[in-house]
Amino acid sequence: MSKLTRRTLLIGGVALATAGAGFPKLDNPFTLGVASGDPRPDGVVLWTRLAPNPLNEDGLGGMPNRVVPVHWEIAEDEGFRRIVRRGTEVARPDSAHSVHVEPFGLRPGAEYFYRFRADDHISPVGRTRTAPAPWALQDLTMCFASCSHYGEGYFTAYRRLAEDDPDLVLHLGDYQYEYAAKAADVRAVVGPETRTLADYRLRHAQYKTDADLQFAHSVAPWLVVWDDHETENNWADEVPEQPDPDFLARRAAAFQAYYENMPLRRSARPNGIDMQLYRRVQWGALANFHMLDTRQYRDDQACGDGWKTCTEAGNPTRTITGADQEAWLLDGFRRSRARWDVLGQQVFFAERDRKDGPEKELSMDSWDGYLASRDRITRGWVDAGVRNTVVLTGDVHAAYAADIKADWNDPASSRTVGTELVCTSVTSGGDGNDTVDQTQLRLNPHIKLHSRRRGYVRTRFTAQEMRADFRALPFVRQPGAPATTLKSFVVEDRNPGLNAV
């Protein structure tokens, strides 16, 4: 690909005419960068949000209380000589002046460049990509990441991820954290713990000012799903972590700000406390991405959450997806003709027992706290004859790779029916370290890798195999760390489970 250059922007600035609307001119509103997401064969979502003063306490980014026209263009070349679509979208105060454009009529499997204009200000240029045609089996480079706490480190991992030139990026949640600044933080988080719409908007805006994060958004389309911290630690449906009579209002505010700040389709626009986040994105005949929401519809964590030996976790009525999402996912397995079916989701899927002996001690916030739910999903893909299932996970601030077993009561000899890849955090938890929990590996022989380094996972999907490179950074509390490959695995077509390379 050609690099995005400053020259391009200047050429673009000359090429676009300015239009006065009788209002005072805005200061440069493109401080939050641009993004794209949810590609289809004929289109992709283009996103930006206007905010001349992104850290204004009211969360409105220094924008006037009026609608502002935003012009957009999408071109085949980064010099914008071959513009294929253009239009005008209205940025509204009640959406924090965010815009979500859904151009259509694009070519499948193609690279495009896009930019926005408001008054005479031109945004940075973003590069994006449409999904391949439904029958196409072209190779895919996909990187995924999770858990980016602004205060706990620099977002270097996002920059390294972008430098790998992915076709697609998945973010599996904890894109931001709700907490107020802490003494140990290396960067100052602004605002209180987020509770109101203004708080969440401001928090998103501060994150989006990060140059590394902007760069990562600008190189490829993203598929995003939230986990807990975009709203509140370990929330479950309508149940907050601690009793809070205002939790539903808080949840609605968090959802609204999340929608406003992510490259999501307008079909995801929240309605009060509800937001349709789970969805499927088809990448030609190569891969189906089933993007899950394991927070909004889950039963409350069993036995008071935490690591527990808990009979209630096995209650067959318990669900982590909710009934509708489960039915949708199982239906998706039955309909799939893809080479790879990928679950982009939040919390640890494979069993992680941390107690020696026959009794198990499991994390109640993960699928281990929803055993029947996990069994139904696993049986669903096995019974549907899904060709290759890969589960992608974030949340735990450590990298893992695991074989998914048919029977967790006998993981050592049970059949492997899928593969789980868990990315570590971008920054959460600070620098990380090289200590490996050997007890955990001994008690869970299906887990083939554990690392507490920071980083991300780079994957390469082809018709024959899926390769995963676990990328690690030596530090994040200072900027500029290099990324190296800690460990690589290959999963072969029709042969679930990890092969170390």
Residues that bind Fe ion (CB under 5 A): 147, 174, 428
The encoded tokens of residue 272 equal 């009060």
Residue type, 40: R
Our CB check for Fe ion shows the closer of 131 and 147 to be: 147
Q: Rounded to an integer, what is the distance from CA 168 to the centroid of its chain?
A: 11
Our CB check for Fe ion shows the closer of 179 and 283 to be: 179
Which 8-state DSSP code applies to residue 256? H
Our CB check for Fe ion shows the closer of 35 and 398 to be: 398
Give kind and range of the element (H or E) at residue 8.
helix 6-15
**In the complex, what is the shortest distance from the CB of residue 346 to Fe ion, in angstroms, rounded to a whole number?**
9
Our CB check for Fe ion shows the closer of 177 and 408 to be: 177
**In the complex, what is the shortest distance from the CB of residue 171 to Fe ion, in angstroms, rounded to a whole number?**
12
Rounded (to 5) percent helix, strand, coil in the chain: 20, 30, 50
Our CB check for Fe ion shows the closer of 336 and 424 to be: 424
Our CB check for Fe ion shows the closer of 31 and 294 to be: 294
**In the complex, what is the shortest distance from the CB of residue 161 to Fe ion, in angstroms, rounded to a whole number?**
17
Our CB check for Fe ion shows the closer of 101 and 347 to be: 347
Our CB check for Fe ion shows the closer of 130 and 428 to be: 428
Our CB check for Fe ion shows the closer of 97 and 298 to be: 298
Integer Cα distance of 7 and 455 in angstroms = 31
SS3 470: strand
Residues 6 or more apart from 301 whose CB is under 8 A from it?
Answer: 234, 236, 364, 365, 369
SS3 196: coil
Our CB check for Fe ion shows the closer of 147 and 292 to be: 147
**In the complex, what is the shortest distance from the CB of residue 428 to Fe ion, in angstroms, rounded to a whole number?**
5
Integer Cα distance of 10 and 248 in angstroms = 46
Determine the Cα angle at 259 with ends 99 and 216, to 5°.
75
**In the complex, what is the shortest distance from the CB of residue 41 to Fe ion, in angstroms, rounded to a whole number?**
33
**In the complex, what is the shortest distance from the CB of residue 153 to Fe ion, in angstroms, rounded to a whole number?**
12
**In the complex, what is the shortest distance from the CB of residue 174 to Fe ion, in angstroms, rounded to a whole number?**
3
**In the complex, what is the shortest distance from the CB of residue 468 to Fe ion, in angstroms, rounded to a whole number?**
20
Integer Cα distance of 95 and 116 in angstroms = 17
Q: How many other C-beta atoms can be found within 10 angstroms of the C-beta atom of residue 380?
A: 19
Residues 6 or more apart from 81 whose CB is under 8 A from it?
Answer: 75
Integer Cα distance of 473 and 180 in angstroms = 26
- The number of residues in the chain equals 501
Integer Cα distance of 123 and 477 in angstroms = 30
Our CB check for Fe ion shows the closer of 112 and 175 to be: 175
Our CB check for Fe ion shows the closer of 366 and 428 to be: 428
What's the per-residue H, E or C state across 127-187?
A: EEECCCCCCCCCCEEEEEEECCCCCCCCCHHHHHHHHCCCCEEEECCCCCCCCCCCCCCCC
**In the complex, what is the shortest distance from the CB of residue 149 to Fe ion, in angstroms, rounded to a whole number?**
7
Determine contact, residues 367/352, Cβ cutoff 8 Å: no
Residue type, 182: K
Our CB check for Fe ion shows the closer of 130 and 366 to be: 366
**In the complex, what is the shortest distance from the CB of residue 226 to Fe ion, in angstroms, rounded to a whole number?**
11
The encoded tokens of residue 240 equal 């907050």
**In the complex, what is the shortest distance from the CB of residue 409 to Fe ion, in angstroms, rounded to a whole number?**
30
**In the complex, what is the shortest distance from the CB of residue 430 to Fe ion, in angstroms, rounded to a whole number?**
12
Q: Rounded to an integer, what is the distance from CA 389 to the centroid of its chain?
A: 19
Question: How would DSSP label each residue in 315-372?
Answer: -TT--SS-HHHHHHHHHHHHH---SEEEEE-SS--S----SSSSS--EETTSGGG-HH
SS3 39: strand
**In the complex, what is the shortest distance from the CB of residue 425 to Fe ion, in angstroms, rounded to a whole number?**
6
